[in-house]
Amino acid sequence: MPSIDVCFSPELLPLYNLTGKIAVAVDVLRATSSMVTALANGITHIAPVSELETCLAYREQNYLVAAERDGVKAEGFDLGNSPFHYLEEDRTGRMLAITTTNGTQAIRLSRAADEVLVGAFLNVGAVADYLRRAGKDVVVVCAGWKGLFNLEDTLFAGALAERLEGDFTLNHDATLAAYHLYQTAKADKLAFLSKSSHVQRLERLHILKDIEFCLQEDTYTVVPVLQGDFLV
């Protein structure tokens, strides 16, 4: 039976062997939630990049360029990092390049895996179905915050583990920890996360509606897959 493991921070990735496995990169608040929403709402593909300058250069190829640093839209870019950018305006047929503080780094650092998927609560069921069909070992790569552990990505890992229970072994300590945290949190994730650092950071920026949106489960069936430099 394949297994699901959890890497709580990209800083811990050197301790994991991703060869032969599928990595699921997650940054629930908000990068991977925004990416899933973008692809589900007409964006054709996404270039996740690390540097602001690299991202901005995509504009010359007619990409929408999105950038966030410390929760705030970076100056000179078309968009920040809110899923509502793709809901409140029609972006059908547009290409997107995006750089964020943690999420885009987690995706790029996961590339040692056989395959890299992007997960969020918004598509957790579809990601679970994809992984069940693939039948390979899985590592959930949590974006965390600047190398540190965060609660919301860990809850996603727990939710995914719950969806895969019975078809995957959950017997890694990190997976068991995530699974049990999710059992405690799932009835009211927002209340559970209310004291967490990133929820407090985003609340200070007055984006509670983004948080509530990103905590919804199974809104979309899209599963972004990294192909070369692009999520499709």
Strand partners, 169: 3
Q: Closest CB to ligand 3SL among 179 and 198?
A: 198
Residue 143 CB, nearest approach to ligand 3SL (Å)? 6
Strand-strand pairing, 46-48 and 22-26: unpaired
What is the sign of the dihedral through the CA atoms of 214, 193, 67 and 76?
positive
Residue 164 CB, nearest approach to ligand 3SL (Å)? 24
Q: Which of 5, 68, 152, 153 forms a contact with ligand 3SL (CB under 6 A)? A: 68
Neighbours of 116 (CB within 10 A): 24
Q: Which of 10, 48, 71, 119 forms a contact with ligand 3SL (CB under 6 A)? A: 71
Q: How many CA atoms lie within 13 A of 130 on its CB side?
A: 20
Task: Give the CB-nearest residue to ligand 3SL.
Answer: 100
Mask 185-224, x = binds ligand 3SL (CB under 6 A)?
A: ----------------------------------------
- Rounded Cα distance between 85 and 139, Å, is 29
Q: What are the percentages of helix, strand and coil residues in the chain, rounded to 5?
A: 45, 20, 35
- Rounded Cα distance between 159 and 88, Å, is 28
Residue 115 CB, nearest approach to ligand 3SL (Å)? 21
Residues 130-149 touching ligand 3SL, rule: CB under 6 A, are 143
Window of 17-25, 46-54, 97-105, 119-127 that interacts with ligand 3SL by CB under 6 A: 97-105
Element (H, E) at 22: strand 22-26
Applying CB under 6 A, does 30 fall inside the site for ligand 3SL? yes
Q: Which residue is associated with the tokens 């920890």? A: 177
Applying CB under 6 A, does 153 fall inside the site for ligand 3SL? no
Applying CB under 6 A, does 85 fall inside the site for ligand 3SL? no
Residue 210, both tokens: 């983004």
Applying CB under 6 A, does 175 fall inside the site for ligand 3SL? no
Applying CB under 6 A, does 115 fall inside the site for ligand 3SL? no
Applying CB under 6 A, does 66 fall inside the site for ligand 3SL? no
CA 6 centroid distance within chain: 13
- Rounded Cα distance between 45 and 85, Å, is 15
Applying CB under 6 A, which residues contact ligand 3SL?
Answer: 27, 29-31, 68, 71, 81, 100-103, 143
